[in-house]
Structure 1
Amino acid sequence: MSRQGSRDTAAEIAVRKLLHAAGLRYRVNVPVPGMPRRTIDIVFGRAKIAVFLDGCFWHGCPQHATQPKSNAEWWRTKLDKNMARDRETTEHLEAQGWTVLRFWEHEATPEVAAHVMDVLFQKRSQV
């Protein structure tokens, strides 16, 4: 597991390229305020928008998640904790006034970027 990349995944880079090409600037892998060892994949700080691009296996995608057969009980516990941590992180950020956007790695990159931009422009127009 230590060899698994937790940042700069292919999905993250693809979305970031589209956002950057659209002229948007953001921060990457920003620590979650008040929650040690947790980071947000893409952050629009002034607008308080946190974007997470979750891997299907590690975060329990309802369409693509698989169950390892070897050491199944340990993996089920591990993956359940990951999903619980995701919910806790989302609730924590929303309680602090953040808009949290979560996407699966298999979602179409242009659609993800378009949704992020729509939310960002909507929040900017409210200010």
Structure 2
Amino acid sequence: MRSSESRSRNMQAVRGKNTKPELVVRKAAHSLGLRFRLHRSDLLGRPDLTFPKWQTVLFVNGCFWHQHANCARSKLPKGNKEFWSTKLTRNVERDRRNYRLLEEQGWRVVVIWECDLHRSGAIGLLEKHFIRSSI
């Protein structure tokens, strides 16, 4: 188990954008010829990628921070469980609210989970959401 100082340093190092999974998805989207905008601050939740041509926003979610259901990576830390439970529950509620409001504004919302990238690869996931769905 880590000391609280060590845990604090680890959590401070967590980035909100330009994460490794996000960079993998961006590279794959570019290789497929998909054009996108990054981190549009005028949209709720600041989507990682926005595809204006398809009126689609894409979020690359970390399984822990966004509590991917039934995923081993979404397990709560053993220490300070109440804090983490409250924090992560708020994250999930905020995500759901943002997705709903974006859809009400006419956006199609796509979420790619970190664990799915490991299983299926970014190109396969993007093809599923963009090419095979014939947007």
TM range (shorter): 0.7 to 0.9
Q: Equivalents in 1 of 2:36, 2:57: separation in Å?
A: 10
Alignment partner, residue 30 of structure 1: 40
Identity %: 33
| Larger Rg, first or second structure (1 or 2) | 2
Deviation at 1:32, TM superposition (A): 4.7
Could you tell me whether the CA contact under 8 Å between 1:25 and 1:44 is conserved in 2? yes
Residue from 57, 63, 81 that aligns with 2:64: 57
String of CA shifts for 1:55-105, please: whole Å, max 9, x gaps: 010000121211112111011000000000110010000001110001111
Q: Equivalents in 1 of 2:131, 2:90: separation in Å?
A: 31
Structure 1 counterpart of 2:47, one-letter code = I
- What TM-score do the two structures reach when normalised by structure 2? 0.80
1:116 matched to 2:129? The reply is yes
Q: Equivalents in 2 of 1:32, 1:77: separation in Å?
A: 27
Matched pairs, number: 119
Gaps (5+ residues) in structure 1? none
Residue from 11, 16, 20 that aligns with 1:6: 16
Q: Equivalents in 2 of 1:9, 1:116: separation in Å?
A: 21
| Structure 1 vs Structure 2 CA RMSD | 1.6
Could you tell me whether the CA contact under 8 Å between 2:29 and 2:123 is conserved in 1? no
Deviation at 1:116, TM superposition (A): 3.1
Change (3 A) 1:67 1:79: same
1:86 matched to 2:92? The reply is no
Bigger fraction of residues in strand? 1
- What TM-score do the two structures reach when normalised by structure 1? 0.85
Bigger fraction of residues in helix? 2
Of residues 95-104 and 60-69 in structure 1, the stretch that sits farther from structure 2 once superposed is: 60-69
Change (3 A) 1:104 1:32: farther
Q: Equivalents in 1 of 2:105, 2:88: separation in Å?
A: 26
Q: Equivalents in 2 of 1:116, 1:60: separation in Å?
A: 22
